[in-house]
Copies of this chain bind each other. A is one copy, B any other.
Amino acid sequence: MKAGIINIGSELTSGLVCNSNASHIGKILCLFSLDVGFILTLPDRVDTIVKALKQVCDGAQLVVITGGLGPTHDDCTKEALAKFTKRKLSFHKETAELVEKKLLERGVRISNERFLGAYQPEGMEILKNPIGTAPGLRFSHRGTEFFVFPGVPVEMEVMAEQYLIPYLEKVSRERRTIKVIRTFQLPESKINELLEPVIEEFPLLDVAFLPRHISNDIVINAPSEEKISLDRFVEEAKRALGEKIYGYDEDTMESAVGKLLRDKNLTLSVAESCTGGLVSNRITNIPGSSEYFMGGIVSYDNSVKINILKVKAETIEKYGAVSEQTAVEMAEGVRNVLGTDIGVSTTGIAGPSGGTKDKPVGTVWVGYSDREKAFAKKFIVDYNRELNKLIFSQLCLDTLRVELLREKGEGK
């Protein structure tokens, strides 16, 4: 079944807002095995919308439209839909009453212009909006089924759940399963090489690679009747990729680390220089992280490394703040000072300046310390400051994860 998505709003075409509605609807359609042939983003302009609707909707069984349903002067989706389907726009009393009531509840003064929202193309089904004031629409036109939702993401999401999903459950014969295998520190070409025989073994599974800076994902899209093949694929991928897999589906590196710390009953502290608090921040994005994360020291200035973390001044003097020795002493220091089972650390050069010939921008040392050992690993990456910090934090969490896999976990 062929489908398309149209998102209307000049804030989208001018790049002021990223089009997250498109990915939300795309994900839903894909789950129901629909073939999304296009996502079209258009400015708030009647003629442009009408022309585009005529061009792209042909051949699509379903088109989901978002945006431009509100009452302000730039909202023109309903006018465009009326022109496209050759219907009249007429005053819709129930909508007007509903909008009036909702606005009054919010204490909003009502002007005539506001009521423009109450004009609807004749003969279309009006879909109630449980949150906002602008209702949605549903209609058929030349063999295509149209759903029209407001552009406010939270309203669109609720209405997609209420109207679109029940429709898809009826019309879509098969529901697909999408499984994501998440890896790190394994280049796409290497994943390709390791998984090639597995991919060939399961020709009915649709396998794609999604390389990103902090995750190289393998996305498997399977028809529901191939559930057993999918499970077997995942098992074989596990064997092929081993501990490079840090999680599945919605897992993140910080959730993977959190699960291991909790399972092994171990506590963690973090000493950060170049990542500036990002490692601690990511760890504490996980609900319940207070069970294993005691705290962190952001030792941006060397005085903090020396006074709080008890890194030896001679170490910094002799080897520099960005060095194996300093990284190890930071990890040991934070573990001792905060009294945790494990301490990890980062010290490096995020850029754009501060690099030297020996220690270029993008150099990071990740330190690790537990009761039995302490070490540091060096990595070099080369992006902008924020991306370097993000990748540094991922390298730190991944180093911790791999050590945790080997930890016996005697606990506190």
Interface membership of A172, Cβ < 8 A: no
A401 to B5, CA, bound (A): 41
A19 to B16, Cβ gap below 8 A?
Answer: no
Interface string of A1-26 (1 = CB under 8 A from B): 00000000011111111111011111
A40 to B43, Cβ gap below 8 A?
Answer: no
Which residue from B23, B287, B301 sits with its C-beta under 8 Å from A18? B23
A300 to B304, Cβ gap below 8 A?
Answer: no
Interface membership of A208, Cβ < 8 A: yes
Interface string of A50-82 (1 = CB under 8 A from B): 001001100000000000000010100000000
A293 to B26, CA, bound (A): 42
A298 to B285, Cβ gap below 8 A?
Answer: no
For residue A285, which residues in chain B have a CB less than 8 angstroms away from its CB? Answer: 276, 385-386, 389
Nearest B residue to A103 via CB reads B189
Write the nearest CB–CB distance from A341 to chain B, whole angstroms.
13
Write the nearest CB–CB distance from A384 to chain B, whole angstroms.
8
Which of A38, A219, A384: most chain B Cβ within 10 A? A38
**Chain A interface, >50% SS class:** mixed
Write the nearest CB–CB distance from A49 to chain B, whole angstroms.
10
Number of copies: 2
Which residue from B18, B40, B279 sits with its C-beta under 8 Å from A38? B40
Which residue from B17, B40, B43, B114 sits with its C-beta under 8 Å from A189? B114
Nearest B residue to A59 via CB reads B51
A301 to B290, Cβ gap below 8 A?
Answer: yes
For residue A192, which residues in chain B have a CB less than 8 angstroms away from its CB? Answer: 72
Interface membership of A112, Cβ < 8 A: no
For residue A339, which residues in chain B have a CB less than 8 angstroms away from its CB? Answer: 303
Q: Which of A380-400 contact B (CB under 8 A)?
A: 383-387, 389
Interface membership of A337, Cβ < 8 A: yes
A16 to B36, CA, bound (A): 13
Nearest B residue to A41 via CB reads B39
Q: Which of A329-387 contact B (CB under 8 A)?
A: 337-339, 350-353, 383-387
A338 to B304, CA, bound (A): 7
A285 to B387, CA, bound (A): 10
Contact flag A277-B303 (CB < 8 Å), given A13-B39, A287-B385: no
Ordered nearest first, which 9 A-B pairs have the shortest CB separation? Answer: A276-B284, A15-B26, A277-B280, A277-B277, A15-B27, A296-B298, A39-B41, A295-B304, A277-B281
